[in-house]
Structure 1
Amino acid sequence: MSHASTAVQERPTPPGGPGAPESGLSSRSLPRLAPVGFAAVAIVLAVGLGLAAGWHSKVQWGMIAALFFLAISYAVTSVVENRRQAKDRLATSIVWVCFLIAVIPLVSLLWTTVSRGAERLDGYFLTHSMAGVLGSEASGGVYHALIGTLEQVGIATVISAPLGLLTAVYLVEYGKGSLAKAVTFFVDVMTGIPSIVAGLFILSIMLIFEIQPSGLMGALALTILMMPVVVRSTEEMLKLVPNELREASLALGIPKWRTILKVVLPTAIGGITTGVMLAIARIAGETAPIILLVFGSQLINANPFSGAQSSLPFYIYEQYKIGEAASYDRAWAAALVLIAFVMILNLVARGIARWKAPKTGR
């Protein structure tokens, strides 16, 4: 009897039995749409609590709803499944909440710009300038500012893209020693330089040599801001190219410069193009250097090398400063044009990257 009782006591408990540890895997699971239900309940509770407490801010309601959502997700999952799954769902819920916190302001900004700017944006607005138009009048357009932005950004890109690309090629393929370290250090410093500092640098040169304001001066300041972004993004893309491709090309007796030109650059062209477009998108919205160096103009000036010009960011600032209802409408419409300009650049970059990407299949 003693041996039998000992054998019974040593028999292991089945994993799914009532004595299973709480951290083990459970056969019960919540449906896939459970997070949606949690979110709905959390919103209802947050709105009810906000109304009961007299809170009128929707931001407060949203933050309370997020806290309720996290608490409900963890509590229900702990009861239905187990604590291990509850911790996993809590981490996933936190990621989703952070994602919504980051996206909601962007969506709100885009929606406000589109709704306010679409009221004034039309063919007349895009084809007329502000020559002879008072700030309180509803007429006038953005044509002169659009020309200035295209020319200034275009000149900055023509200067920055080749120099940035060649600098990145040097750092990745040839750069060794103190010179490469110095270049890398100054590129990192220039990446975080404020735009007003670049404008002041060009302005000091203008004062020394008595150069008049023009679109070119603004483009040179934008070049200073754009070049480190191009260098850093291109450098990272070139580092992603496998060394096996370089070694295979060199093993065939192809010179290094030709290997870079025919193998390395075509392989990384997608990322390089995207980096250049991101740099263009950054400088397209700069205002401080344009205010210092271009001065703005109400007239159409298609010559960036002589005379004052305008730009879309400067036009938005100028119209907002007037303070009239008509000028606010023009400012929102110009902001919508600027956003559309950046979006078109990104679409073109994606198209070029897909077109120039190396073919992987037969």
Structure 2
Amino acid sequence: MFFNWGLQGCLVVQCYIYHLWFPHDRLYIKSLVYGLLIYECVQTGLVTDFAFDNFVYGYGQRAILTQFHNTWFSVTIMCSLVSCVVQSYFAYRVWVLGRSAILTGIILFLSFAQMSVGVAGGIMLHVIDPNAAAASIVTPVISSWLGGAALADVIIAASMSYLLLRGKNGIKRSDDMINALVRFVVETGAMTATVAVLDLICFTALSNTLLHECPALVLAKLYSNTLVASLNNRVIITRSQNGPILTTSTPSGQYQLRNLSGSRTFVTAMGKQSGKSGIQSQGQIEVGVDVDVQDDTSTVGPRGSALKHSGSKVDFKVPPIDVLVDDSQRMQV
């Protein structure tokens, strides 16, 4: 229970970080992230209600402790639904990386199959309404759901790792980035698969107890955190490869550049392209420029005609903006 609440807090922080760093992501990605946050808030509320039924309203009653209460929906059905959404998203990533219709189809099939079985198992728990001692009736269904979810996670982790490693080209910088991505994919995939297998073992071997609910209560949160963390991982990889990240705060003309130090910096600005930077865009754009930063910031010429850092010069033009580096430095664009 406490792990469920703790992971809900982690998800809130992850979504806040996503909101700060990626305000210009595509609408469907932002809808997915914020939709997952709302979904998990509802799940946390239902799980908290289940905890109150067990440990407050039913305090001292052994029969209450062996009942499933609302977990037929808040754990079984909601977890199977969110796992399908997350696995489908990673199936899309596999498709983008490898363009393999067969591999993507296998992942999607397993994802929707485990979701269907999980929903069916939740409905069976609600209709039959067994207590923990009689849960063996639905054991095959729940076992199939958990086994399918774990298998899908393993296939996703293995296929993404293979496709990423295939893209190595011998250049240290890009290879290091690929290695970081592979580590993240393997760690997150192994984590969700391990928890699903642990839940499967507890539910099968200890079906007359409710020990299986310990991993089951955190499984949905793990899936949601995995997806949002994979999106936020772009910040960590960019920092490790390019040094500190300088980013804009609003598209309306006021910009803040953070952490102006290091040997390489990635500068991001929003504005209308009007110069000859070679960046193709329309309307409001996001301009990324690699510059060398060795000493203090020099100047940014009128209308952003030049960005100078210790002899390096990068040409790009944006509308006039006021750039705040910190309390002691100001750059005029």
Q: Say whether the fold is shared (TM-score over 0.5).
A: no
Larger Rg: 1
Q: TM-score, normalised by structure 1?
A: 0.28
Between Structure 1 and Structure 2, which shows a larger proportion of helix residues?
1
Between Structure 1 and Structure 2, which shows a larger proportion of strand residues?
2
